[in-house]
Structure 1
């Protein structure tokens, strides 16, 4: 291409101009400097719709053929460069933030004036929650209900504003900055909980928090098990990957469906957690670890079931329903109003609200459940 220099100049100018415009918009709406830089770089490429506009402009005689070809080439190059720009965006964002950092810039001055910092003075032996998404909201609600002191940090100005209106102990700020963590008294805190979707921000926050408080217990929620080792290495005490918890829930439900005793399922969960998730990372799990499923299925298990007024056995005597004769399962006990009747006789009448403790093989329990609660899915086999 003869005009490659011109094309590259156009690429640089277009990317820089668009990045600056997006950066300015993000700052105006209250985003921190780092986030604004990342958004500007990540969205700086020329979009596909620009091709349509350029083609229309060419057809209308507003854009000469040579200029159209230059614009087309520049657009394609900007799209090719986008993945690399996105990968570099976090580092560039942190670099620019550090370059223009001010000690007083705890909460970005671009935030609307109605978002005020809540003083963390006096806070100690508390919990610092970074991120006010679903995990952060649930944790803050629980801590508030049990009386554990805490403070929350989030970089979404609107989220902070709405939470403050509801009386939440939350501040606007980037936890990857020293000033913000010190304002949250992380040096006096007992626990730091990170629930961020930005891996780079999470790593920086963990390292910074550890440098400020050697005794701090740091719990990190991450997306992938591949991030566990690095987070632990830089200072996290516990790392909980989303895909790990999802996998546990999946295999728990599968084993439950096969009628595995609850104690067996809990044992497998405990083994995986104790081994630092290595079982889930490896391509296969040793057969001895999972045990013999067929053998377990034929062993006696127990199951509790709550009777409702819709159950066909409610209001009938045990002898009348003949549960053991029809299904093979045995009623070991009946719990009613907090009192337990062990080995109830044939004349014992079942009532709405009773909890039956059944015993038998998985097949027998399944038949009993279908008889007691037809059409309903009963949760949880218990050892």
Structure 2
């Protein structure tokens, strides 16, 4: 989760420094020109040296309740205004961490459940904007920082006509499907404004397959597009 967080921060050109007690990870990060240093974040002097007094936010991305509580205690003493986001495994210690000063606590199990549900809804053909709205509603209930902003976004999404919303749709190629044995590009799906998001073959998923790929019986094409376009694309794959 720390490396994922770093990727987002770098994409936004937000400067940061990461502390890690794993010397191997630190060496690998430095070799990759990442801003990671060896140090125990639970120690007051280490936090100070890392720039606690200049920070705009602090994230505890590893799951150690005792260390997290120590960091929160130091932060409360030195920078009571600094928002701290804490990662935890489940809801067990959420209240204790918030009582200690955490602005938000992200429970890994709950976030995993949200992403699992969203992927299931997408693959079941639920419109993407509706999936986004469900995820936003769930997070707004749990994270105070999102609640006010997301209510406006949800209203915007609710006003959209579902027939004008893209969604995923899976098509299984059969032996007698016109597309079987042909190159993907020959089917002209892009002309229908339908994107082939991925192709599953023998339980192996390939993202954005090549136009030159020869389609086979049993292939599952995961299409992305508007409902009417998806209907036409499926008909073209099966009947030409």
TM-score, normalised to structure 2, is 0.62
Q: Hey, what does 1:4 align to over in structure 2?
A: none
* Cα displacement (A) at 1:373: 5.4
- Unaligned 5+ residue runs, structure 1? 1-134, 278-298, 318-330, 336-351, 375-383
Q: Hey, what does 2:235 align to over in structure 1?
A: 371
Q: Hey, what does 1:226 align to over in structure 2?
A: 92
* Cα displacement (A) at 1:154: 0.8
Instruction: Determine the C-alpha separation between the residues in 2 that align with 1:151 and 1:275.
Output: 30
**Alignment root-mean-square deviation, CA:** 3.6
SS in 2 for 1:168: coil
SS in 2 for 1:150: coil
Instruction: Determine the C-alpha separation between the residues in 2 that align with 1:249 and 1:240.
Output: 13
Map 1:193-342 onto structure 2 (within 5 A).
193-276=59-142, 300=163, 302-303=165-166, 310-311=184-185, 313-314=187-188, 334=193
Q: Say if 2:87 and 2:105, in contact at 8 Å, map to a contact too.
A: yes
Instruction: Determine the C-alpha separation between the residues in 2 that align with 1:180 and 1:207.
Output: 14
Change over 3 Å in CA distance of 1:168–1:358 after alignment to 2: closer
Aligned pairs, number: 182
- Structure 2 counterpart of 1:188, from 54, 62, 67: 54
1:320-346 deviations in Å (ceiling 9; x for gaps): xxxxxxxxxxx6xx59xxxxxxxxxxx
* Cα displacement (A) at 1:189: 0.6
Instruction: Determine the C-alpha separation between the residues in 1 that align with 2:123 and 2:12.
Output: 35
SS in 1 for 2:188: coil
* Cα displacement (A) at 1:146: 4.0
Instruction: Determine the C-alpha separation between the residues in 2 that align with 1:254 and 1:139.
Output: 24
* Cα displacement (A) at 1:230: 2.1
Flag the structure with larger Rg. Answer: 1
* Cα displacement (A) at 1:153: 0.6
SS in 2 for 1:219: strand
* Cα displacement (A) at 1:357: 5.0
Q: Say if 1:232 and 1:239, in contact at 8 Å, map to a contact too.
A: yes
Higher strand share: 2
Map 1:1-383 onto structure 2 (within 5 A).
135-276=1-142, 300=163, 302-303=165-166, 310-311=184-185, 313-314=187-188, 334=193, 358-360=226-228, 365=230, 367-372=231-236
* Cα displacement (A) at 1:167: 3.3
Instruction: Determine the C-alpha separation between the residues in 2 that align with 1:224 and 1:316.
Output: 43
* Cα displacement (A) at 1:198: 1.7
Instruction: Determine the C-alpha separation between the residues in 2 that align with 1:272 and 1:234.
Output: 24
Change over 3 Å in CA distance of 1:180–1:370 after alignment to 2: same
Instruction: Determine the C-alpha separation between the residues in 2 that align with 1:316 and 1:216.
Output: 49
SS in 2 for 1:167: coil
Instruction: Determine the C-alpha separation between the residues in 1 that align with 2:130 and 2:70.
Output: 39
Instruction: Determine the C-alpha separation between the residues in 2 that align with 1:264 and 1:151.
Output: 37
SS in 1 for 2:40: coil
Change over 3 Å in CA distance of 1:372–1:219 after alignment to 2: farther
1:208-257 deviations in Å (ceiling 9; x for gaps): 22322122121222111232222222111122111111111121123223
SS in 2 for 1:139: helix
- Indicate the structure whose relative CO is greater, using CA pairs within 8 Å and at least 6 residues apart: 2
